[in-house]
């Protein structure tokens, strides 16, 4: 190809690029030069109550929303993702969401949003993922959702939706997953085009939940891959683009774009530089896996002052946790896992970490990022300013009774999510006050979930070591090494007793000379109606006696010796919310009365291992202490 031909080709490409950029600019502007997407997002912000300030940098005077939190843009600077899960948002969802016509992903699950689902969502023809689950939406499912022919994943479960199923849902031929469970919907039920669906928990059509027509196959989690496109990188886009939007003038846009693009081509020709980055240069690469960031070891080393002992927030069975400050000022908690070089291969570790990152709930500690080298494995979490429940129970000011109740319910909801809404389901295996963290608003956040699986890398199906804390380990787990969701229920029961007493499990048993029979002692004082002996003295009598008895009953139900007798976490949540406790307690008492005691070990014998902190027991497990 001659030099003249090459020059003509380059000039042609130049004008095509200018025309494309001009079309993009004009397509986003109103006649007054205002960005349509900014207007739509500000409408959404105005209708929501944002107690944590998550949407604080959403600015109506801005010209570019791509740098805003929870907003994902394409390489063409179009808004394609809106993700604010588990942010305690309330209020209503504005119909202006229908003006974000390039949206592909909407993730608003696990908030407190009320009101109807906007029918305008049906205009989002490019949408492939919609998750509005675990909110308080009311009214009917809009029939306009049937227009979403490209939608693959839709979760509207755990709301208060009512009315009949729109028959238009049968038109959504691309659906892979549909979850409408736990609402108040009524029939007739359309023939869903997806095999993976659930409508159980709607009492008018699925009264028992076991009807075969109420569900199909196993529900899979919706991927949180919101950042798979070059987003939130305003510095990498031509500054002329933003100036053009600011002036809102098509003529000015064209002039500036032509000037900058022309200078770029001249610079490229003169320096003979390729337009693509060298992918082999990985020294300063920053990788994002969905919402998960892969850190360089050097960055975490600097942020923690070379893992200084002064930065240690806590020590546990999985490793030390350090306070770190990233280069942008973000405060994080960096967990440096023990035996990092032995924690499986890099691919296996990364896969497990990605699975943990998919567990997103307001009462779960969000995994911010990770780091792996041939000898190190590190996990990066948001910093929790109020520390753990264990540390706060010992600190000042004293946690009042209302806060302790709220912590119990929050932790229960987090565990319920791990047990029943994750895929694969996650068993925590070390539920205790030290692993329940408190955010700025003293809301419970369950931490350290999934870590046992990360370190049990030799066999994904069999526990290679009993991981837990003395006093919290369920008897069947201690004796067989086999854990289940009921193992966590046992630990949660002990957690309730820690909240009530203000002491660690081993401490409040020993305080009454009841080593080896801690739960027997709790049962005894419950039967004798002397529960005031249990209550944290720092509360100085400021608690509700009825609520105290209810919490003790839930704790005793959770810590029954046989796993089959313990409630599931969804039942625990209901009981803590005031539903079904009386019936469950009465049933357990009847079962207790009908036991054939001569053929059984005494409770003291059966539970004796649970509070024995002998050196033999300590050597048989990894203790995970407070952070």
Whether residue 288 is predicted with pLDDT greater than 70 in this model: the reply is no
DSSP letter string, 565-622 = GSPPHHHHHHHHTTSSHHHHHHHHHHHHHT--GGGS--HHHHHGGGG---HHHHHTEE
Which range among 113-127, 231-245, 386-400, 533-547 shows the weakest confidence by mean pLDDT?
231-245
Band of pLDDT at residue 172, cut at 50, 70 and 90 = confident
- Residue 335 annotated as part of some ligand binding site: yes
More confident residue, 619 or 299: 299
Which position has the token pair 């209708």? 47
Condensed to tens digits (0 to 9), the pLDDT of residues 450-468 reads 775 554 433 333 333 445 5
Pair type for strands 177-179 and 196-198:
parallel
State if pTM tops 0.75. no
The stretch 14-24 carries a mean pLDDT of 49
Q: Which has the higher per-residue pLDDT, 511 or 608?
A: 511
List the single range of 229-233, 432-436, 531-535 with lowest mean pLDDT. 229-233
Mean pLDDT taken over the chain: 75
Residue 284 clears pLDDT 50, i.e. is over it: no
401/540 Cα distance (integer angstroms): 10
CA distances from 579 to 32, 311, 511, 542, 576 (A): 55, 44, 33, 24, 7
**C-beta atoms surrounding 374 within 10 Å:** 7
Q: Quick check: 610 and 471 in contact, CB under 8 A?
A: yes
The answer to whether residues 165 and 141 touch, using CB atoms and an 8 Å cutoff, is: yes
**Residue 258 confidence (pLDDT):** 66
Among 390, 370, 378, 373, residue whose Cα is nearest residue 321: 378
- What pLDDT score does 510 carry? 59
Cβ-count burial 252-281 (b if 16+ within 10 Å, e if not): bbbebbbebbeeeeeeeeeeeeeeeeeeee
Q: Domain 287-382 carries which CATH code?
A: 3.30.200.20
Pick the more confident residue, 222 or 96: 96
Which residues participate in catalysis according to the annotation? Answer: 430
Residues 6+ away with beta carbon under 8 Å from 193:
170, 171, 172, 173, 175
Q: Do residues 400 and 564 make contact, with C-beta atoms less than 8 angstroms apart?
A: no
Residue 232 scores a pLDDT above 90? no
pLDDT at residue number 283: 34
Please give the residue that has the higher pLDDT: either 504 or 542. Answer: 542
- For 177-182, the CB contacts below 8 A with 24+ separation are 177/152, 177/153, 177/219, 177/220, 177/222, 178/154, 179/133, 179/154, 179/155, 179/219, 180/141, 180/156, 181/157, 181/215, 182/157, 182/158
Average pLDDT over residues 55-76: 81
Q: How far apart are CA 382 and CA 398, in angstroms?
A: 24
Q: With pLDDT > 90 as the criterion, what percentage of the chain qualifies?
A: 27
Burial category of 76 from C-beta neighbours within 10 Å (exposed 0-12, middle 13-18, buried 19 and up) = middle
Mean pLDDT value of segment 182-207: 80
Least reliable range by pLDDT among 289-303, 344-358, 418-432, 458-472: 458-472
Whether the CB-CB separation of 142 and 165 falls below 8 Å is answered with no
For 92-132, how does the pLDDT look when each residue is reduced to its tens digit (9 = 90+)?
999 999 999 999 989 898 889 999 999 999 999 999 889 99
Judged by DSSP in three states, 334 sits in strand
Helix (H) or strand (E) holding 408, with range, is: helix 401-420
Q: What is the mean pLDDT of residues 398-427?
A: 89
Class of domain 34-216: alpha beta
Task: Write down the pLDDT at residue 203.
Answer: 83
The domain defined by 389-622 carries CATH number 1.10.510.10: yes
Tell me whether residue 6 is exposed, middle or buried, using C-beta atoms within 10 angstroms of its C-beta: 0 to 12, 13 to 18, 19 or more: exposed
Domain residue limits, the chain: 1-33+248-271, 34-216, 287-382, 389-622
Q: What is the mean pLDDT of residues 568-594?
A: 88
494-537 residue pLDDT tens: 999 999 998 877 666 555 554 446 788 888 889 888 889 889 99
Longest dimension (CA), the chain: 102
Range of lowest pLDDT (198-202, 340-344, 365-369, 497-501): 340-344
Residue 585 has pLDDT above 80, yes or no: yes
User: What span, in angstroms and rounded, lies between the C-alpha atoms of 618 and 412?
Assistant: 27
Does residue 407 surpass a pLDDT of 70? yes
């Amino acid at each position: 190809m001659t030099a003249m031909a090459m020059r003509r080709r380059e000039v042609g490409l130049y004008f095509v690029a200018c025309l494309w950029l001009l079309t993009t600019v004009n397509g986003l502007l109103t006649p007054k030069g205002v960005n349509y997407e900014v207007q739509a997002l500000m409408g959404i912000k105005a209708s929501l109550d944002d107690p944590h300030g998550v949407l604080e940098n959403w600015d109506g005077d801005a010209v570019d929303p791509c740098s805003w939190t929870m907003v994902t843009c394409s390489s063409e600077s179009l808004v394609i993702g809106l993700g604010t899960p588990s942010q305690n948002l309330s209020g209503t969802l504005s119909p202006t969401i229908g003006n974000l016509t390039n949206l592909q992903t909407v993730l608003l699950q696990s908030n407190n949003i009320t009101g109807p689902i906007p029918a305008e969502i049906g205009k989002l023809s490019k949408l492939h993922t919609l998750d509005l689950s675990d909110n308080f939406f009311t009214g009917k499912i809009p029939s306009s959702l049937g227009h979403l022919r490209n939608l693959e994943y839709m979760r509207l479960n755990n709301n208060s939706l009512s009315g009949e199923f729109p028959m238009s849902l049968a038109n959504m031929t691309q659906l892979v997953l549909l979850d409408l469970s736990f609402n108040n919907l009524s029939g007739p039920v359309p023939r869903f085009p997806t095999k993976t669906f659930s409508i159980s928990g709607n009492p008018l059509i699925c009264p028992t939940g076991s009807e075969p027509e109420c569900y199909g196959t196993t529900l899979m989690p919706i991927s949180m891959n919101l950042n798979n496109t070059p987003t939130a990188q305003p510095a990498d886009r031509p500054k002329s683009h933003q100036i053009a939007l600011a002036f809102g003038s098509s003529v000015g846009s064209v002039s500036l774009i032509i000037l900058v693009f022309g200078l770029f081509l001249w610079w490229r020709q003169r320096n003979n530089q390729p337009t693509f980055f060298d992918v082999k240069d990985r020294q300063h690469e920053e990788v994002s896996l969905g919402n998960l960031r892969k850190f360089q070891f050097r960055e975490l080393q600097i942020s923690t002052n070379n893992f200084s002992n002064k930065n240690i927030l806590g020590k546990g069975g999985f490793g030390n946790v350090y306070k770190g400050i990233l280069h942008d000022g973000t405060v994080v908690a960096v967990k440096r896992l023990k035996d990092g070089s032995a924690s499986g291969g890099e691919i296996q570790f990364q896969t497990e970490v990605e699975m943990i990152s998919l567990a997103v709930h307001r009462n779960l500690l969000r995994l911010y990022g990770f780091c792996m080298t041939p000898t190190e494995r590190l996990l990066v979490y948001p910093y929790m300013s109020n520390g753990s429940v264990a540390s706060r129970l010992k600190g000042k000011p004293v946690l009042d009774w209302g806060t302790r109740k709220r912590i119990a319910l929050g932790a229960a909801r987090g565990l319920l999510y791990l047990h029943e809404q994750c895929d694969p389901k996650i068993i925590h295996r070390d539920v205790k006050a030290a692993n329940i963290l408190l955010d700025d608003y003293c809301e419970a956040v369950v931490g350290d979930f999934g870590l046992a699986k990360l370190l049990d890398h030799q066999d994904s199906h069999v526990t290679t070591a009993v991981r837990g804390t003395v006093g919290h380990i369920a008897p069947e787990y201690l004796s067989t090494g086999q854990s289940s969701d009921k193992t966590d229920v046992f630990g949660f029961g002990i957690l309730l007793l820690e909240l009530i007493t203000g002491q660690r499990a081993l401490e409040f048993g020993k305080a009454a000379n009841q080593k080896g029979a801690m739960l027997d002692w709790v049962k005894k004082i419950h039967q004798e109606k002397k529960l005031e002996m249990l209550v944290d003295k720092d509360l100085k009598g400021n608690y509700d006696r009825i609520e105290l008895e209810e919490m003790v009953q839930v704790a005793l139900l959770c810590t029954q010796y046989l796993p089959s007798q313990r409630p599931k976490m969804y039942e625990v949540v209901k009981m803590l919310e005031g539903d079904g406790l009386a019936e469950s307690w009465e049933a357990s008492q009847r079962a207790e009365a009908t036991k054939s005691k001569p053929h059984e070990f005494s409770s003291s014998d059966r539970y004796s291992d649970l509070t024995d902190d002998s050196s033999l027991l300590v050597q048989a497990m990894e203790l995970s202490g407070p952070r």
